[in-house]
Amino acid sequence: MTRTELAARIDHTILRPEASSAEVHRAATEAMQLGFASVCVAPVWVGRVATMVRDFQPPTRVCTVVGFPHGANKPTLKAIEASSTIKDGADEIDVVAHLPPLLKADAETVKAELLEIVRAARATNREVVIKVIVESALLLKALNGKDGEAALAAGCRAARESGCDFVKTSTGFHPAGGATVEAVALFKKHAGGLKIKAAGGIRDLATARAMLDAGADRLGMSHSVAVLEELGADIG
């Protein structure tokens, strides 16, 4: 895998709440210069970053988060946040699902929440990419074994049946942890056409490759530049 190929599968992420304007500007610049799939920023920065990358070629997509990091907002508020950030210029949104229904493997309740968000998002921009964050580390640690797998399967089903595009492992902010190869492999088993984003704790090239090998289509990372530097020159 070349640097260009790897970069094209990375959402270059800066979601620290204390991130400054200069830091966000630098992340967006890095995304443009290095060819990352997107730059992922907090909702407050979307308008500025969208303006910054608008005329850059090849295009750099703008990603943001909804209901972040806990997912405990009412679905109506998540829908409003989704629509607002899309109007500001977000091309992709990563939505944190409400976790208690997932812990019960209650796909119908999760689906109902996501449907409200998806309808609002797609009414604003039909082409927006929607990813659902299910905190896979929490589900697997809290439930173990077949119950943990059932919870991940429920998250996949809810995301798929509500019309989302990706299922995503983690926010990177939950104490249970971030992406694991086990979670990505289970998502791959149950995705049924969904794409998979691994995020949370991916800080080196070996981990990034392991996630891709397990079936991830996209990686969410704040250490993206350092990982590309590990790969070396773009020589294949």
| pLDDT tens profile 132-151 | 999 999 999 999 889 999 99
Give the pLDDT score at 235. Answer: 42
Q: Helix (H, G, I), strand (E, B), or coil: what is residue 36?
A: coil
pLDDT of residue 58: 83
Cα–Cα distance between 116 and 188 in angstroms, integer?
A: 25
**Is 94 in the active site?**
yes
Annotation says 197 is catalytic:
yes
Evaluate the CA torsion angle 68, 31, 88, 119 in order and state its sign: negative
Tokens of 166: 């990706």
Distance between CA atoms of residues 67 and 162, nearest Å: 17
**Average pLDDT of the segment spanning 54-61:** 88
> What is the chain's mean pLDDT, rounded?
96
Distance CA 35, CA 7 (A): 6
- Say which of 94, 111, 131, 165 is annotated catalytic: 94
Q: How confident is the model at residue 233 (pLDDT cuts 50, 70, 90)?
A: low
The model's pTM is 0.96
CA-to-CA distance for 65 and 92, rounded, in angstroms? 9
Which domains does the chain possess? 3-231 (3.20.20.70)
Looking at residue 144, its pLDDT comes to 82
Catalytic residue, chosen from 11, 91, 197, 217, is: 197
Amino acid at 171: T
Tokens of 147: 């119950």
- How far, in Å, CA of 191 to CA of 97, rounded? 16
Is residue 55 very low, low, confident or very high in pLDDT (cuts 50, 70, 90)? Answer: confident
Is residue 57 pLDDT above 90, yes or no? no
Peptide bond into 17 cis (omega under 30): no
Q: What is the pLDDT of residue 236?
A: 42
| Best CA proximity match to 220, nearest among 44, 93, 128, 111 | 93
Residue range 216-228: mean pLDDT, rounded: 97
